Amino acid sequence: MQWEAVIGLEVHAQLATRSKIFSGASTTFGAEPNSQACAVDLAMPGMLPVLNEGAVRMAALFGLAVNAEIAHRSVFDRKNYFYPDLPKGYQISQMYHPIVGPGIVTIEPDDSEPRPIRIHHAHLEEDAGKSLHEDFQGMTGIDLNRAGTPLLEIVSEPDMRSAVEAVAYLRKIHALVTYLGISDGDMSQGSMRCDCNVSIRPVGQTTLGTRTEIKNVNSFRFVEKAINSEIERQIELIEDGGTVLQETRLYDADNNETRPMRSKEFANDYRYFPDPDLLPVVIDDHYIEAIRATLPELPDAKKERFISQHGLSEYDARLLVQNRQTADYFEQVSSRCGDPKLAANWVMGELSRLLNQEELPLERSPVSADQLGQLLQRIQDNTISGKIAKQVFEAMWQEGADADQIIEQQGLKQVSDSGAIETLVDQVLAEQQAMVEDYHSEPVEKKKKKKFNALVGQVMKASAGKANPAQVNSILQQKL
């Protein structure tokens, strides 16, 4: 039987506010344990939550970016459960009246047509603290610094049909939140996490199969692997005559499989109800329009502009806009050197290669966009060849110096003095008489060209790569 997967994602993005969603405690990552957990976060008796305007604004900004309706009235609810990293005994969330209504994003999985993915809604909630299960005198350690950090939970419709599409969707959400500056999107620090709802059904069937939920997947690669292994598991299970249980599972990266979470004694019963400590959040059109005015250029619009304004290919443009830093870096290089295609090739080529090799994020690149732009200028004004430029780039990378300094220091300036090139050509012709004879006696045009190129190579070698190749070509042609 042919199976089709049906996938929906719940993405939790930590919002980049300075203070927590309901308290004035700092949200800085990596502080001393519990140094950022105030009386509200600790659920001391009598403490009351006060909503952070920054969190409301960021949620609304996201909603506007996905063409969703922003609720003029939204309500916070209590989600009740007991766990030590949740001191109140409930999480404040939005169950019935979320701040962001239905929206839509377009994904472009590799090599396939763009596809719209519907967003069911997005709501604000608070994060929990962290439990450290290493042995502390036989007890569990609790760090509540993260408790109360604002989260935007973005819930998709089950519109994705493969792990590749799910990853493309997650990348799109990641690009959006980082472009908007509402989250740093750093999955390794848990700033963005994802729950994957997965079910399968025979191709052609319209009703949904029973789904499982894979909790807390924290990298793009793991999302793809976790979903694929879960799809495989469900197909095998059903084909062997079994049935899929609706349950929560965890992805075990070491064994590349999903495992059921230890089932609680009773099914979850969160007993949601409106939080009486918080009044309905009412925002007006004026507020929403003021936020709309701050929307930056978003990835889709930027991609179209890169194609129309810079003449880039669809493929190049798509790669460059995947994150805002890369897009900004590219534009700076391009405006400095005046050749967008050359800039794109270098940003996605040499620059990415060295960044990957040293596992550096773009922000920490030793070569700035301005410096790279200057290097490319030197290719364009024939100071150096493209080949020498790579050598200069590596030296810039190592030494942090400007292109001109390296070119000067290492004497890499291209030789364009025709007298000097002529001398080199004469020298090579004298030394390589056999090659010259070979060239003259070659009747086949194609082979003759090859032999000519070999002589060009000799001259270039004699110049240590610095001779202007076009000039070498024409002078050699004359001499022969």
Partner 1 sequence: MAISREDIENAAILARIHLDDDAKTGLEKDLSNILQLVDQLQSADTDNVTAMAHPLDAVQRLRPDEVTETVQRERYQQLAAKTQDGLYLVPRVVE
- Footprint on this chain of partner 1 (rule: CB under 8 A): 17-19, 23-26, 32-39, 42, 44, 50-56, 75, 80, 82-84, 131-133, 136-144, 261-262, 265-266, 269, 271, 274, 278-282
Q: Give 41's Cβ-side CA count (13 Å radius).
A: 28
- In this structure, what token pair is assigned to residue 72? 């003029």
Contact 393, 401 (CB under 8 A): no
To the nearest whole angstrom, how small is the minimum distance from the Cβ of residue 67 to partner 1?
A: 25
Residue type, 112: S
To the nearest whole angstrom, how small is the minimum distance from the Cβ of residue 469 to partner 1?
A: 58
- In this structure, what token pair is assigned to residue 33? 């344990």
To the nearest whole angstrom, how small is the minimum distance from the Cβ of residue 48 to partner 1?
A: 11
63: left (phi over 0), alpha (psi -120 to 50) or beta: alpha
Residue 218's CB: how many other CB atoms inside 10 A? 16
E strand or H helix that includes residue 244: none
Nearer of residues 15 and 226 to partner 1, judged by Cβ: 15
Vertex 50: Cα angle to 46 and 56 (nearest 5):
155
273: three-class secondary structure by DSSP: strand
Nearer of residues 125 and 143 to partner 1, judged by Cβ: 143
What are the phi and psi torsion angles at 120 (to 5°)? -70, -50
Q: Are strands 248-252 and 212-217 parallel, antiparallel or unpaired?
A: parallel
To the nearest whole angstrom, how small is the minimum distance from the Cβ of residue 294 to partner 1?
A: 14
**Cα–Cα distance between 52 and 60 in angstroms, integer?**
13
What are the phi and psi torsion angles at 359 (to 5°)? 50, 45
Residues in the chain: 480
Name 132's bridge partners.
Answer: 141
Nearer of residues 124 and 424 to partner 1, judged by Cβ: 124
Contact 202, 2 (CB under 8 A): yes
Nearer of residues 20 and 120 to partner 1, judged by Cβ: 20
Nearer of residues 89 and 311 to partner 1, judged by Cβ: 89
Name 249's bridge partners.
Answer: 214, 260
Nearer of residues 80 and 377 to partner 1, judged by Cβ: 80
Nearer of residues 34 and 382 to partner 1, judged by Cβ: 34
Nearer of residues 133 and 446 to partner 1, judged by Cβ: 133
Least Cα distance to 346 among 364, 363, 329 occurs for 329
To the nearest whole angstrom, how small is the minimum distance from the Cβ of residue 44 to partner 1?
A: 8
To the nearest whole angstrom, how small is the minimum distance from the Cβ of residue 68 to partner 1?
A: 20
To the nearest whole angstrom, how small is the minimum distance from the Cβ of residue 194 to partner 1?
A: 18
To the nearest whole angstrom, how small is the minimum distance from the Cβ of residue 323 to partner 1?
A: 24
